[in-house]
Structure 1
Amino acid sequence: MASTFYAGEPEGPSLKTESIPGPKSTEHLTQLDKVFDTRSVNMLADYTKSFGNYIVDPDGNTLLDVYAQIASIPVGYNNPALIKAAQTPEMIQALVNRPALGNFPSHDWASILETGALKVAPKGCNQVFTAMAGSDANETAYKAAFMWRRQKERGGPTVEFTEQELNSSMNNQSPGASQLSIMSFKTAFHGRLFGSLSTTRSKPIHKLDIPAFDWPQATFPLLKYPLEEHVEENAKAEADSLAEVEDLIKNYHLPPCAVVVEPIQSEGGDNHASPAFFRGLREVTKKHGVLLIVDEVQTGVGATGKFWAHDHWDLPSPPDMVTFSKKAQTAGYYFGNPELRPNKPYRQFNTWMGDPARALIYRAIIDEIERLNLVEHTAKVGDYLYGKLEALAAKYPGEFANLRGKGLGTFIAFDNPKRDQFLAKAKKFGVNIGGSGVSAVRLRPMLIFEKQHADILLKTLEKIVTSW
């Protein structure tokens, strides 16, 4: 069945070679390996032929892509609306005259943000700091948190820095270098730059050999599934986690000025917590004057059936900052409190401070999501897919263990004891799927993923577990 959204999408997977990579892909990879590290390559793609939900390789293999560049493709490969946006005079200007935004923003930069990124700003947020990538978004949010906290301790934005602060900062010493921290959670992933890496706790391979800050980590609730069978245990796990967060806020030797949390720990294994847990986290941070940074790099822009995953929580007050990237195709953090703007220029600054070309693409993505009602669509398709997966889990015990993501759009995962083999087999059947954590299979389809794509995926999943 053809796509409802875009004419010309393949009707299903098509395999031309016995294995992936095929001969042409292997030839290209050999050439690439001479100049670029290819050890993490999942598969080589031919983006001139990929379209919609399907990724195509140089050998002509066409795979249904439910990994979508690690959850980063929102409205399909070679989306006509995005191509049209890329061909506008506005885009040409942004590409050939890339500005150092902090110093030389274009005359229409406010309009680009207001009609794009800020049009979908989370509740309570009316400003945005644009950035280059998810790690960068989190790092700059952390900087904002540190400067906000020290400004409060100093007595407000008009209080000047002391000579001791200025001089000691140049030696990476206190009081100029603050003795504060950012709290994160065990099994979290917040990026691979120095500050963000210190809050990343998912896999040792990310962190080995890299100097790190002495920052605290709390235990993320380890929920048991099915949820309805473990209500008391899960409630205790969440209560214990919140108690640990409060204890660390009160007693850690480097006081946390912010807590950063993912709505769903993605890289760390697709770990969930209840809306009540996150409401409790907001209350604890408010109680102790600590900022709450919600890392929506992977969960944002519609994948959970709401534009922002934290919209599912019904928070008593909004997060202080919300970081984003991936499906937005740009990056940054949203905020509302004007005190999160540093008191002097150049404190939150770099050459690019984002990219107008990517901001224009984000605006086109937002327009396309709204035109096709893709957030509500994703919620409905996710419910359909989850129900079918529940049936598979009942039919094949152990193969779709700890199924999670009910009511969260297509942001669905399950555990499989042969996870790596599972992913490899999926390719042989024409589907590109990703993993997370130790044993999770994570589904990250695009917002244009439809029921017919779900049916192809479900048939493939059953083929995999019956082919061991």
Structure 2
Amino acid sequence: NHVHHSLSKHMLVDGFDFVIDLDKSSGNRFHDAKSGKNFLDFFSCFASMPLGWNHPDMLEKQSELGRIAINNIANSDLYTREMAWAVDVITNQTMPEHMNNFFMIAGGALAVENTMKVAMDWKMHDRQAKGLVDDKSVCNRQGFCWKTELRESSKISIGHFKEAFHGRSGYTMSTTNTDPNKTSNFIKFNWPRFNNPKINFPLDEEENSRLDRLESSVIHDIREYGENHPDTIAGIIIEPIQGEGGDNHFRPEFMRNLCDVTHEIGAKFIVDEVQTGTGGTGKMWAYEHAGIKPDMLAFGKRMQVCGLMASDSMREYEDNPFQTSSRINSTWGGNLIDMVRSAWQLEVMEKEKLVENAAKRGDELLKGLNELEQKYSFISNVRGKGLLCAFSLDNNSQRNQMREAIYKSGSLVLNSGFESIRLRPSLTLSSDEIGEALNMFDAAAQSLSSTLVE
């Protein structure tokens, strides 16, 4: 009680009611210091804990972590052996073969924002090369002119999708459109927003037919926008699975067609893998399920440090952010302790084959959820890739009741969209823990069922 009371003196404290005991939490269970209970963790700090709590291999690194944490290095300009080692491990284990450029920053929103900035920079150079930029100065300064820059840069945009969540920073807020509380009253750009042809599972013949029509319409809208506003979209960004927007999945063929039409209209294709990346779907990156090659990806959460990776298509023009100082930057350039923790955790992931574990355990979890869907009429749209699974209820009230019942049973899950629950366990999840969780979900569904009037 003291923790919440103390924090609430100066902060909005509207999070969970429990208090995490950092010492007693272990594996896929966290310990609540207030109640003394252990909870099966299907939340994992918004999908940011690949190894769960207090993994033994990480506990062995405590003294080294403490040594590195003493000084907060300005990594953008001051380099260390620890940083060089960490970047080497991260890029060797996670960077796609077709990418070669790497940038780190603190926070997923800023990781995404910098993909947008790199795309914008490329598009402005591209427009200049095509003679589409009016460089005539409207002020007396030599070289850079703010008024000219404002006029010309305002002509470009970032295409995005309905029910997207890309962050709450300056640029990303113009693409985020899930919860109005997160974007209302803040200045936004009127950038092109396209329908999201999400799958309503099960993916049967009727649903495939519906998606054929919907996807075709979306691709047509993008192509038409490109024709009516030529050379203005710098990039199109999408989450391979829209997390906060409802755990919305897309067919691989849509992702492939989207990548193609993005390039067709002269834009760069960006995937936001902040929540979906680093192994959760059973592959290192969720976009790999579609067999595509995006120009850039944003990473974060499970990676521990945030940032972006990009192909050399973003180096088309010599004066680009990967070759020109200060175009994209920050004081700490990520955070050294996060980089090192990331590298250590990636080594554990490789040693314990945790990406493969996510794929196998994900199949088990999805099978169990499908069985619950068959048992309860109010559970529907069961979906998942790897351990990123979700299911829907009939309405918002049922969803909230279900989540509360699961919590009372001893597990923490996440809301998603208006009527869905998403599951975000760590990559170390075991078959026994899946069985335990499914029993909790079953008990919660039985409890909810008893309150519903047929």
Which of 380, 384, 409 is 1:401 aligned to?
Answer: 380
What is the aligned partner in structure 2 of residue 465 from structure 1? 445
TM-score (norm 2): 0.90
> Counterpart in 2 of 1:370?
350
The aligned amino acid for 1:450 is S
Kept in 1, the 8 Å contact 2:393–2:420? The answer is yes
Paired amino acid for 2:175: T
Larger displacement relative to structure 2 (45-54 or 105-114): 105-114
Alignment of structure 1 residues 344-359 onto 2, 5 Å = 344-359=324-339
State the distance in 2 between where 1:276 and 1:106 align: 44
Q: Does 1:288 align with 2:262?
A: no
For 1:133, the aligned partner's letter is G
RMSD, matched Cα: 2.2
The reply to whether residue 179 of structure 1 matches residue 158 of structure 2 is no
Q: Distance in 1 between matches of 2:431 and 2:442?
A: 16
SS at structure 1 position matched to 2:237: strand
CA distance in 2, matches of 1:404, 1:358: 32
Residue 392 (1) aligns with residue 372 (2): yes
Q: Which residue of 2 aligns with 1:64?
A: 40
Counterpart position of 1:21: none
Superposed CA deviations along residues 149-207 of structure 1, whole A, max 9, x for unmatched, are: 11222239xx9x886695443687223x4421111100000001111111111121111
What is the rounded CA distance, in whole Å, between the counterparts of 2:380 and 2:79 in structure 1?
51
- The aligned residue for residue 182 of structure 2 is 206
Q: 1:122: how far off? A: 2.1
Q: 1:191 touches 1:200 (CA, 8 Å); kept in 2?
A: yes
Tell me the alpha carbon deviations over residues 338-387 of structure 1, each in whole angstroms, 9 at most, x when there is no partner. 34535531111221221121111111111011000011111111111111
Shift of 1:42: 5.6
Structure 2 residue aligned with 1:145: 119
Name the CA distance, whole Å, in 2 between partners of 1:333 and 1:191.
Answer: 14
Tell me the distance in 2 between the aligned counterparts of 1:151 and 1:86: 47
Question: 2:57: which partner in 1?
Answer: 81
Structure 2: which amino acid aligns with 1:271? N
CA offsets 1:432-466 (integer angstroms, 9 cap, x no match): 11111000110111101111011011111110111
Within 2, Cα distance between the matches of 1:442 and 1:35? 31
- Structure 1 portions without partners, runs of 5+: 1-25
Question: What SS does structure 2 have at the residue aligned with 1:226?
Answer: coil
Q: Is the 8 Å Cα contact of residues 105 and 330 (structure 2) preserved in structure 1?
A: no
- Aligned pair partner of 1:127 in 88, 93, 101: 101
Of stretches 164-173 and 270-279 in structure 1, the one that deviates more from structure 2 is 164-173
Q: 2: distance between equivalents of 1:73 and 1:162? A: 51
What is residue 105 of structure 1 aligned with on the other side? 79
Pairwise CA distance, 1:301: 0.9
- Tell whether the 8 Å contact from 1:238 to 1:273 is kept in structure 2 after alignment: no
* Structure-1 separation of matches of 2:209 and 2:91: 40
User: Which structure has the highest strand share of the two?
Assistant: 2
Identical pairs, percent = 30
Match of 1:264 in 2: 241
- Bigger drift between 59-68 and 163-172 goes to 163-172
Give a deviation string over 1:384-429, Cα, whole Å, max 9, x none: 111121111111112x211111xx1111111013111111111111
Using the TM superposition, name which of 291-300 and 221-230 deviates more: 221-230
Letter in 1 for 2:178: S
Where does structure 2 lack aligned partners over 5 or more consecutive residues? Answer: 449-454
CA distance in 1, matches of 2:147, 2:56: 51
